[in-house]
């Protein structure tokens, strides 16, 4: 199970959609445009949403490797996103313990 981006991503189209969502108030938060863009790519243009709970059942090193790989692929789309990808990586790494515990508890309760 690997985290992967969808094929043929049109970054300009994604940026335009994000700008529209921010300008019309559909999306409201205090994150920078770049952080919002990375989250949008992760959640809408990769398989993350489909595999996230299964992913967090694996060991931390594997999860970190998968997240790094995905974020590297995102930074290849736009080199200006590299530093923001690193900050997002640390956020997901920090979430690992919480999500991993939820997965262990969920599986135990269903055995």
Looking at residue 57, its pLDDT comes to 84
Backbone phi and psi for residue 108, each to the nearest 5 degrees, phi listed first: -65, -40
pLDDT in tens, 73-93: 999 999 999 999 999 999 999
**pTM over 0.75, yes/no:** yes
Q: How many residues does the chain have?
A: 111
pLDDT band at 103 (very low <50, low <70, confident <90, very high): confident
Strand-pair partners of 5: 46
Average pLDDT over residues 46-74: 94
Q: How crowded is residue 92: how many other Cβ atoms within 10 Å of its Cβ? A: 21
pLDDT in tens, 2-54: 999 999 999 999 999 999 999 999 999 999 999 999 999 999 999 999 998 88
């Amino acid at each position: 199970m690997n985290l992967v981006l969808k094929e043929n991503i049109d970054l300009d189209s994604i940026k335009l959609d994000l700008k529209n969502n921010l300008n019309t108030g559909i999306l409201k938060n205090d994150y920078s445009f770049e952080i919002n863009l990375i989250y949008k790519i992760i959640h809408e243009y990769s398989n993350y949403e489909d595999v996230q709970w299964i992913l967090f059942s694996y060991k931390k090193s594997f999860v970190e490797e998968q997240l790094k790989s995905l974020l590297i692929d995102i930074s290849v789309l736009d080199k200006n996103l590299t530093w923001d990808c690193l900050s997002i990586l640390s956020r997901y790494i920090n979430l690992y313990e919480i999500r991993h515990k939820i997965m262990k508890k969920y599986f135990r309760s269903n055995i």
